[in-house]
């Protein structure tokens, strides 16, 4: 009974339980255009209302990470296989594959960690620990730094600092900007797999089997 209802929510009739669940989990509200982004299997879709059928569709490789949005453009990593970072305008109708993809970047793009957008720059952390800063306007790399470690957790902005948390429990703190600047590095000594949540100047993170909230 539940699956047909969820299929209607995501706007596509032919999809299985896993695809439906992924689509619901990856909805993002765009505050400017009031458009919802969702992905089902190999489609990236946008709809004006949360439960309406999509107004624009773009075929992509299977998207695993959470997209980010600014100034009428959504930035999304295409996930496993050969990941790419795509910039797509959200003001289209129908299949916008040939008209609304502004740029693509394929070097050191993560399969799992989501991109982070700060002040016109996108920070992507590869699964193998290489942090890349990309200009959101044209997709050109501004710098690249090997952080080390392995990553599933997405970069998080807390205050004016970026936090990177590895499988191995290493936390690297750096500042956003046009060049890499490491501020701190410390060990939590337990595995970190899940992306942290940010609540003001506090961070909520699962370390090993413990969920903790840390603030200044």
pLDDT mean for each 10 residues of the chain (216 residues): 40 45 46 47 45 47 72 81 84 73 91 93 96 96 96 92 94 96 91 87 84 77
The angle formed by the CA atoms of residues 41, 47 and 51, to the nearest 5 degrees, is: 85
Domains of the chain, each with CATH number or no CATH:
1-106 (2.40.10.480), 131-216 (2.40.128.630)
Closest CA to 58 of 72, 44, 75, 46: 44
Q: What is the pLDDT of residue 62?
A: 57
Distance between CA 17 and CA 60 in Å, rounded? 20
Q: What is the pLDDT of residue 169?
A: 92
Distance between CA 47 and CA 25 in Å, rounded? 15
Distance between CA 108 and CA 139 in Å, rounded? 13
Distance between CA 124 and CA 145 in Å, rounded? 11
Asked if residues 207 and 190 have their Cβ atoms less than 8 Å apart, the reply is yes
Q: What is the pLDDT of residue 159?
A: 87
pTM over 0.85: no
């Amino acid at each position: 009974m539940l699956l047909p209802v969820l299929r209607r929510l995501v706007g596509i009739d032919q999809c299985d339980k896993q695809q439906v669940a992924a689509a619901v989990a990856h909805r993002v509200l765009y505050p400017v255009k009031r458009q919802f982004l969702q992905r089902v299997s190999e489609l990236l879709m946008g709809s004006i209302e949360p439960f309406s059928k999509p107004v624009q569709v773009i075929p992509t490789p299977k998207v695993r990470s959470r997209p980010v949005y600014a100034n009428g453009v959504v930035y999304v990593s295409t996930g496993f296989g050969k990941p790419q970072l795509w910039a797509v305008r959200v003001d289209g109708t129908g299949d916008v594959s040939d008209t609304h993809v502004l740029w693509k970047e394929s070097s050191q793009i993560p399969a799992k960690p989501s991109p982070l957008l700060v002040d016109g720059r996108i920070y992507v952390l590869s699964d193998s620990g290489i942090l890349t800063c990309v200009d959101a306007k044209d997709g050109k790399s501004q710098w690249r730094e090997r952080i080390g470690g392995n990553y599933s957790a997405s970069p998080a902005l807390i205050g004016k600092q970026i936090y990177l948390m590895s499988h191995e429990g290493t936390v690297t703190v750096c500042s956003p900007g046009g060049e890499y600047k490491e501020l701190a590095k410390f060990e939590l000594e337990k595995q970190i797999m899940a992306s942290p949540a940010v609540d003001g100047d506090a961070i909520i993170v699962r370390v090993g089997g413990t969920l903790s909230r840390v603030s200044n």
